[in-house]
Amino acid sequence: MIKTLLVDDELLSIENLKESIISNFPNLEIVGTAQNADEAFDLINTLKPELVFLDIAMPGASGFDLLRKLPELEFEVIFVTAFDQYAMDAIKFCAIGYVLKPINKEELLHAVHRAVKSIGQKNEFNRNVQLLENLVNPGNQNNRIGIPSPDGLEFVSIHEIIRCEGVQRYTKVLFKDRKELLSSYNLGEFRRLLENYGFYSVHKSHLVNLNHVKRYDKEGFVQMTDNFNVPVARRKRQDFMQFLTRI
């Protein structure tokens, strides 16, 4: 049984989530519920849950404030929230999962499956650590993200990424000083996260780190620090040129 804590300021949301968990996940034991960050802090220290369903936007201290306050994050987090999509795209790369309100059964099943698998493998909860670091320094290329690969989850510094290339439903991520990765996330997932870190989508199949641009050929190619010439879509060339002059 996986010791589970539910944290949400809305009692109805807690009851709905509790009912969904009892109906679908007999391996989750709900050991407690909390309606604010202070209650949750005490229960986490007392009950030592392995999994916490956490609302973000609560009166007073937020779910993020709670995570920052805890000395150790030795549990998996599934966010259950109505938080805005931009933040969720960023959270997605470090948190084990999230479910938007109102709760969608398929999203819940997927998030719990990932959490149970991670707990079963005795994951070291690196996602939580990276999540907090990324929240402190939004947009900083020294931040790290977890990239799912065939061998597991690879944590990399964003500044190491030279470019991302879409390959069917996958993404090839190319780095400065390490072997490339093939990720199960599509290019759109990387675009939503990395465009806020100085990356530019020059083509439907290519996302480049502007810090790794060597030169731009007006004929429609940008040369990267790995000497690869990335095509720039014709409709994006003027905008890309203006973007480069602003950095």
pTM summary value: 0.54
Contact 137, 159 (CB under 8 A): no
Mean pLDDT, all residues of the chain: 86
List pLDDT tens digits, range 63-107.
888 988 998 888 889 988 876 654 565 565 566 677 878 888 888
Q: What is the CATH number of the domain that holds 175?
A: 2.40.50.1020
Q: Is there a single domain that holds both residue 100 and residue 178?
A: no
Task: Give the end of a domain, one of 107, 135, 163.
Answer: 135
Which residue, of 104, 135, 166, is where some domain finishes?
135
9 and 34 share one domain: yes
CATH number at residue 16: 3.40.50.2300
- Looking at the chain, how many residues does it have? 247
Residues 117 and 175 in one domain: no
Half-sphere exposure of 44 (CA within 13 A, CB side): 26
pLDDT of amino acid 219: 82
What's the number of domains the chain is made of?
Answer: 2
Query: What percentage of the chain exceeds 90 in pLDDT?
Result: 46
Looking at residue 227, the DSSP 8-state letter turns out to be -
> pLDDT of 199-241, one tens digit each?
999 999 999 999 999 999 878 999 999 999 999 999 999 888 8
Closest CA to 196 of 158, 224, 225, 167: 158
| pLDDT at residue 86, as a whole number | 45
Is 142 inside any structural domain?
Answer: no
Higher pLDDT, 2 or 101: 2
32 assigned to some structural domain: yes
Range of the structural domain that residue 92 is part of: 2-135
Quickly state the pLDDT bin for 30 (edges 50, 70, 90).
very high
